[in-house]
Chains A and B, each alone.
Chain A
Amino acid sequence: GEDVEQSLFLSVREGDSSVINCTYTDSSSTYLYWYKQEPGAGLQLLTYIFSNMDMKQDQRLTVLLNKKDKHLSLRIADTQTGDSAIYFCAVPLESGGSYIPTFGRGTSLIVHP
């Protein structure tokens, strides 16, 4: 299997909550990240969580981390059409003294009016 896995699609109605899940094989990194990619654009850092936390809230975003199960999730409350994008989780993996963020394939979030 892949080092970082995400489901490919999520469809929600405007105003509902969205939950995007990510599982990873291993990480000794201090941080784990969520990035957002809008159509035709680069990846934009959305939020991150310390590996010694199990939850982080940032306005409409809530990140949950279950280190035991190696599971990371991103919850978007009151999802808006402007939240439609691809969301990537990124887990830094150690490689020869560097930490290289390894990305999932991305979850396409589609928000219906």
Chain B
Amino acid sequence: DSGVTQTPKHLITATGQRVTLRCSPRSGDLSVYWYQQSLDQGLQFLIQYYNGEERAKGNILERFSAQQFPDLHSELNLSSLELGDSALYFCASSSGLADTDTQYFGPGTRLTVL
């Protein structure tokens, strides 16, 4: 158990819908990362937050957005969903921003868009 929790574990929805994925980092960790894992793209970095502020952006679509709240939990919002958004979405947390701050991953949310 990494200490990072994600809800829900599974999500099935239809094209055009909007969903929210939730992540609680390990106790004491200030940094949260979101990744998308699909068979054809591998593990793609989406976005990073540190202590409530966006710090780095990766291959995140404009239809997707995220935020980190004062209690440090984070939400990833996916809207106007398409079939191709079906994937595993992982959250990871680390204590800070340094390259020596190891990331710990949550169990993931499996999103299926029908």
Interface residues, chain A, with chain B CB atoms under 8 Å away: 28-31, 33, 35, 41-45, 48, 88, 90, 92, 94-106
The distance from the CB of A25 to the nearest CB of chain B, in whole angstroms, is 15
Q: What is the CA–CA distance of A100 and B103 in the complex, to the nearest angstrom?
A: 9
Chain B neighbourhood of A31, CB < 8 A: 99-100, 102
The distance from the CB of B64 to the nearest CB of chain A, in whole angstroms, is 17
Chain B neighbourhood of A90, CB < 8 A: 103
A–B complex contacts, Cβ < 8 Å, 7 sampled: A31-B99, A41-B107, A42-B90, A99-B97, A100-B33, A100-B56, A104-B42
Closest chain A residue, CB of each to CB of B35: A103
Chain A neighbourhood of B45, CB < 8 A: 100-103
Chain A neighbourhood of B35, CB < 8 A: 103
Q: Which 6 A-B pairs have the closest CB atoms?
A: A99-B99, A105-B42, A29-B99, A42-B105, A43-B105, A103-B43
* Given A44-B2, A103-B42: A98 touches B50 (CB 8 Å cut-off): yes
The distance from the CB of A1 to the nearest CB of chain B, in whole angstroms, is 14
Chain A neighbourhood of B43, CB < 8 A: 43, 88, 103, 105-106
Chain B neighbourhood of A103, CB < 8 A: 35, 42-43, 45
* Given A31-B102, A42-B105, A42-B106: A98 touches B42 (CB 8 Å cut-off): no
